[in-house]
Amino acid sequence: MRIIGITGGIGSGKSSVLNLLKSKYISVINSDLIVDKLLRENPKVIKFCKTNFDIHLDESSKKFSINKLRLAKILFNDLDTLNNFETFIWPIAFENVKKNIRSDNITLIEASKLFEAGWNKICEFVLTIEANAEICISRTIKRSNLSRSAILLRMKNQSTSKYRRDLSDFILDNNFSFAELEEKVKYFSKNNLINQ
């Protein structure tokens, strides 16, 4: 069993790297998807959000999930509130992460705040995906409904590139074309995953 951490800021290309690495020998755990599921289905999480952030249930959903857009607006506009939410959600999400680790496979754990959550402690090593701010903003605008100001607000609440780089074992520069990213990922996989 091998556990590898993947991290990076919003729009850096973490999902692209995960998709390129995923195979029958390499499984992927996406922390955003786990948190999304908790917000939709976990009664403890839903109650916490409703109680602490005055978030009303989205009654258009049969599962009465949290209104994520409203929650995001609250969290990313107040650092103390965001810290409060993260302190609560990370241990719950981590339990879900551990349930999805494959004992017979390489498991990649993707999380933008991998170090802050302490999940790097179970990882053999951590790969950080890096790209300059304008490229990250452009990518995020193309794939989401977020405005530039909303993206900048999220970036402001992330750890710095230097913080991630100092703690990481490998850095992958993703400032160029997808074809170049593919080549870098193949090289990384061949030298650090497949032959280990």
Q: How far apart are CA 1 and CA 58, in angstroms?
A: 40
pLDDT at 55: 62
Q: How far apart are CA 85 and CA 79, in angstroms?
A: 10
Q: How far apart are CA 35 and CA 32, in angstroms?
A: 5
* Residue 91, helix vs strand vs coil: helix
Contact in structure between 105 and 3 (CB atoms under 8 Å)? no
Q: How many residues does the chain have?
A: 196
Instruction: State pTM to two decimals.
Output: 0.85
- Segment 50-99, tens digit of pLDDT: 888 766 555 555 454 566 777 888 888 888 889 999 999 999 999 999 99
pLDDT at 196: 47
DSSP state of 120: G
* Residue 41, helix vs strand vs coil: helix
Q: Which domains does the chain have, with CATH numbers?
A: 2-189 (3.40.50.300)
Contact in structure between 164 and 136 (CB atoms under 8 Å)? no
Instruction: Please determine, for residue 132, whether its predicted confidence score (pLDDT) is greater than 90.
Output: yes
Average predicted confidence (pLDDT) for the chain: 87
pLDDT at 68: 74
Distances (CA, A) of 147 to 20, 144, 151, 152: 28, 9, 6, 9
What percent of the chain has pLDDT above 90? 51
